[in-house]
Amino acid sequence: MSISFQILGKPDRDNALLVLIDSGQSQKRLLFDCGEGCLSELPVGEILNIDHLFFSHCHMDHISGFDAFFRCTFGRKSKPNVIWGPRGTKRIMQHRFQGFLWNLHTEMSGSWTVRDVLPGKIVSTRYELAEAFERAYDEGTTDFNQVILDEPEFTVSAFIMNHNTETLAFYVEEKQKVNVERNAVIQLGLKPGPWLQEVKDLTVEKAEVEVAGRTFRLDELRNEILTITGGETIAYLTDFLLDENTIGELVEKLTGCKKIVCEAQYKHADLALAQKNYHMTVKYSAMLAKAIDAEELILFHISSRYSKEDWADMLKEARNIFPNARFPVGWIESVR
């Protein structure tokens, strides 16, 4: 499996993150935020294949490109239409659904589910195209700790952060890859068979397992015949107040995350402005990447108040703390 990603939008405009998870047998596409113009870089077929849309929050620079997404997918039935966001997302999305004239809708079909992520619970609401999205159907409430989406190949976790409103930080993690060493199986005098599924299922917790009339300690057998490697990881962090206390809180949640896509809204010299607007400084973004021992920090969502010369200073400021920091490919090739 592998995770690849693309930063959407122009350097000094709205941005979004598209994540592709490729298991070798299937692909899943996750879109994080959808600002104005962000989808203009994607062909319609790519937009139609987006499986989930996650909003960090519903400020206009993060959702103003939704109409372009909705125009392609409003009647999509090839896969579920699911939107995730913080408290109040369902109300705002219903207004967006109804922001058009629907007069041919009664013969159309298409369901949309909006999931509001609240502290400790997820509230799901369904809307129907055939009803011009007029009714909100309660689809129930589920409890969660950190993981909001659990699929066979990956999980998505969400953390509620402070942007002077609730906003979500997201963490995508491929599940562990478990491979069977066939030669090790043969050396133990065993033959591959259905018993391997139980051994490979790391959620199975018991002391012993019986194979071909022989009894093995499960943990020892796994050590003998399995190779277990961690999956790839990426975090999407934008639009919340980041200080040393918040860094400490996020370290517990993100340690081991390999790639961080993180806003660089302000220079640290403008810390007072960052705090006033509940944003980050590039210094604190770099401090977080260093604290969780990330492999790479991708800085985006930069305030338009800064010039390209300022950007060079901001990148230098980040690299003084975390050397493997960069801007998205193609943004400002003259800045190194």
Instruction: Tell me which residues are annotated as active site.
Output: 61
Contact 127, 133 (CB under 8 A): yes
Instruction: List, in order, residues 6 or more apart from 176 with CB less than 8 Å away.
Output: 202, 228, 229, 230, 231
The amino acid that residue 283 corresponds to is K
Distances (CA, A) of 154 to 21, 78, 150: 8, 21, 6
Q: Collapsing DSSP states into helix, strand and coil, what is residue 179?
A: strand
The amino acid that residue 334 corresponds to is S
Q: What are phi and psi of 270, to 5 degrees?
A: -105, 35
> Using alpha carbons only, how large is the chain's radius of gyration in Å?
23
Cβ count within 10 A of residue 160 = 15
Cβ count within 10 A of residue 215 = 10
Distances (CA, A) of 101 to 79, 96, 124, 129: 24, 12, 25, 12
List, in sequence order, every residue forming a beta bridge with 168; answer none if it has no partner: 160
